[in-house]
Amino acid sequence: MVAIIGGTGVYELPGAEERERTIPTPYGDASVTEVRLPDGQSLVFAARHGKGHAVPPHRLPARALLWGLKEIGVSAILATSAVGSVREEIPPGTLALLGDFMDFTKARSTTFHDGPGVVHQNVSDAYCPTLRAALRRSAAAQGIPLHPEDVVYVCTEGPRFETPAEIRAYRMLGGDVVGMTQVPEAVLAAELGICYAAVALVTNLAAGVQGARPSHEEVLELMAQQGRTLSRLLLGTLPDLGEDYRCSHHAQPEAMS
């Protein structure tokens, strides 16, 4: 089964028949929506921040959500992510696939492996190459422009935006876009062996880039303009993946005793 995690600005899927479902997990309840599309295909949808954008990024119940998705048989996740651009050559409105991340979060539970026992998850392929290829095929088939290279996502703690000095530092380190939610989401998916890919929509230039001063209104405005294109891009991959998607690319966790 495939799940879509909708980030800021993506709270439902167009034209879908929906049924709400609560999944109890050791980390609290996960709220998801079972969806049947007009073409008969089934999938699971989850609004990352809850319906109505109620939960701030540093308080997301990511462990409950990912555990719940695994529990109901999800084998692949396509996620959306609103991001600021660290580089003026990646302007607002750009859609880009995430290729890697850097973790600058500070105070979150970022793992299921809290002991006893030690597990070091390999996250060299946090963004599944097979899912990324399917997303590129969907974009090409629908004529949706996608940034030619996969981008590096810098995850900050939030909920504040970054300072111009922080953004300069992230640029020097090789970051391309900045957001607040990929860690731990992508990490937890890897720990559970769920294939994961994310499409970023650049909603603004990050602080200090060409004098930008990001605001939540700016983010929402761009999402309102482009959210449907983003949904089309994700939904367009589903026939390619099939309902019972299986992918064997994942490295297994390396356990140490």
Residues that bind ligand HPA (CB under 6 A): 82-84, 156, 161-162, 178-180, 203-204, 206, 214, 219
Q: How many CB atoms lie within 10 A of CB 257?
A: 4
Where is 240: in which H helix or E strand? helix 238-241
Q: Which is nearer to ligand HPA, 83 or 195 (CB)?
A: 83
Supply the minimum distance, in Å, between the C-beta of residue 86 and ligand HPA: 9
Supply the minimum distance, in Å, between the C-beta of residue 217 and ligand HPA: 11
Q: Which is nearer to ligand HPA, 55 or 141 (CB)?
A: 55
Q: Which is nearer to ligand HPA, 162 or 191 (CB)?
A: 162
Supply the minimum distance, in Å, between the C-beta of residue 83 and ligand HPA: 5
DSSP-derived letter for residue 128 is: -
* Closest CB to ligand HPA: residue number: 84
Supply the minimum distance, in Å, between the C-beta of residue 109 and ligand HPA: 20
Q: Which is nearer to ligand HPA, 68 or 84 (CB)?
A: 84
- 167-176 CB contacts, 8 Å cutoff, 24+ apart: 167/84, 167/86, 167/206, 167/207, 167/208, 167/209, 168/208, 170/86, 170/102, 170/104, 170/206, 171/86, 171/87, 173/102, 174/102, 175/86, 175/102, 176/85, 176/86, 176/87, 176/90, 176/96, 176/151, 176/152
Which amino acid does the sequence have at 117?
Answer: G
Q: Which is nearer to ligand HPA, 82 or 183 (CB)?
A: 82
Supply the minimum distance, in Å, between the C-beta of residue 122 and ligand HPA: 26
For the chain, the farthest-separated pair of C-alpha atoms sits apart, in whole angstroms, at 51
Q: Which residues pair with 83 in a beta bridge?
A: 202
Q: Which is nearer to ligand HPA, 121 or 182 (CB)?
A: 182
Supply the minimum distance, in Å, between the C-beta of residue 59 and ligand HPA: 15
